[in-house]
Amino acid sequence: MNYERTKQLYQQLILDHNKNPRNFRIIDPADKEAVGNNPLCGDKLVVYVNVNEDQIVEDVSFIGEGCAISKASASMMTTFAKGKHIDEVNHIFQQFHDLTTGKLDPEKDEHDLGKLAVFAGVKDLPARVKCATLSWHTLHAAVNGKEQISTE
């Protein structure tokens, strides 16, 4: 039973993004960037983002060290956010937050998360919620003009 729960969290999609993270690079120069810290584990990532005058995310990338959950989440976030309007990114950020904290049930509630729903499993692992949301918080900070965020 436990093995199933573990498998549920570490699904192929997450393992794949962990192994081959997308947009894992520096944008230089970037319009905006922010550093995200998870002092609990010492993990740190930097999110770079270019936003055009229509408030569309033209390019977004990240670098850093982290566990499979945080790396896959950052990778999938970049593929999601590219080409989207900032309002939409903020909207999904909120839904993703609700998903990982158990406030949104992807089976029952309406949502626009698509593949990001794969992170539903972390709601049962309070210690790992921050791993999944760190990149989103960091992107949110970057587009809103903050440079440092910490999950503590």
Partner 1 sequence: MSSKSVNGTLTPETTFNPHLYRKDFPVLSREVHGKPLVYLDNAASSQMPQQVIDSYAEYHGSYHSNVHRGVHALSQQATDEYEGAREYIRAYINASSTKEVIFTSGATDSINLVAQSYGRTNIKEGDEILITNMEHHANIVPWKMLCEETGAVLKVIPITDKGELDLEAFEELLSEKTAILGVVMVSNALGTINPVKEMIAKAHEKGAVVVVDGAQAMPHVRIDVQDLDVDFFAFSAHKVYGPTGCGVLYGKKSLLEEMPPYRGGGDMILSVSFDEVIYNQLPYKFEAGTPGISQVIGLARALKYVDEIGVEKIAAWEDELLSYATQEIKKIPQVKVIGEAENKASVLSFVIEGVHPHDIGTILDEDGIAIRTGHHCAQPVMERFCIPATSRASFAFYNTKEEVDALIASLKKVIEIFT
**Interface with partner 1 (CB under 8 A):** 1-3, 5-7, 9-10, 15, 19, 40-43, 65-69, 71, 125, 127-128, 131
> Cβ closer to partner 1: 36 or 92?
36
> Cβ closer to partner 1: 67 or 117?
67
The CA distance from 74 to 136, in Å, is 7
- State the minimum distance, in angstroms, from the CB of residue 26 to partner 1: 19
DSSP character for 24? B
Secondary element (H or E) of residue 13 = helix 12-19
The CA distance from 108 to 113, in Å, is 13
- State the minimum distance, in angstroms, from the CB of residue 5 to partner 1: 6
User: What tokens does 110 get?
Assistant: 């309406």
The CA distance from 80 to 100, in Å, is 17
- State the minimum distance, in angstroms, from the CB of residue 123 to partner 1: 13
DSSP character for 123? G
> Cβ closer to partner 1: 57 or 74?
74
- State the minimum distance, in angstroms, from the CB of residue 88 to partner 1: 30
